[in-house]
Amino acid sequence: MSNPSSSSTRSPSSASELLTAAPYVHAIEHLNRARARRDDESEVLRALLRDAPRLARDLAADVAAGGYELLPLETFTAFAAGKVRTLHRAELLDRVVLTALAKILVDEVEASLSERLYSYRPGFSNVRALRAFALFLRKHRAERSDPRARGVYVIRTDIANYGESIRTDDDSPLWTALEPIHARWPATV
């Protein structure tokens, strides 16, 4: 993988986990749970799960040797939430590697994230976000007895094509921001 991905405060050895079987076994188990309802892959995932220890050791060895290369993503369109969306999908074995990498990266950046960031984080549900917002409103109201002084506004928006707007080319500022973490990682990762 030519572009690094990660951020801040985890121990320098965290990326070394990719050189062991454990994150790949975890990734196979995670994908099996997440995709169990899909018929098109459920049999293959169950087969991977049965052979997870061997497959995980092989993947770890390939990554450690610098020999694992991701295949190009499959691109397709789907109708979701009333919109036509362009989606990308990695091959199953690539998803195992990417899931293992994502778990390690999440662990790397978790401590640097705001406690008010609720999206796409385990344990940070929309219910938790609503409870935090309700607590804020109660506190804000209690501090201001005059309703005219409360001045609370809520803005709801959706940024069109947000994911596609994040630059990932070689000159992207994203790579500069991730460099301190990547510098601590083993050379083969």
Segment 26-61, tens digit of pLDDT = 998 888 887 655 566 777 888 888 899 999 999 999
Residue 105 pLDDT more than 90? no
Q: Tell me if 52 sits within 8 A of 28, measured CB to CB.
A: yes
Q: Tell me if 26 sits within 8 A of 100, measured CB to CB.
A: yes
- The better pLDDT of the pair 112, 12 is held by 112
Ranges of H-type helices in 86-165 = 92-109, 126-143, 162-165
Segment 157-187, tens digit of pLDDT = 777 777 778 888 889 888 887 787 777 777 7
Angle at 4 between CA 187 and CA 169, to 5 degrees: 135
Residue 18 Cα distances to 68, 77, 124, 143, 161, angstroms: 12, 32, 26, 50, 31
Q: What is the pTM of this model?
A: 0.68
> Looking at residues 128-152, what average pLDDT do you find?
88
pLDDT for the residue 56: 93
pLDDT for the residue 36: 57
Q: How far apart are CA 94 and CA 20, in angstroms?
A: 16
Specify the range with the lowest mean pLDDT, choosing from 8-17, 36-45, 91-100, 107-116: 8-17
- Would you place residue 7 in the very low, low, confident or very high pLDDT band (cuts 50, 70, 90)? very low
User: What does the mean pLDDT of the chain come to?
Assistant: 81
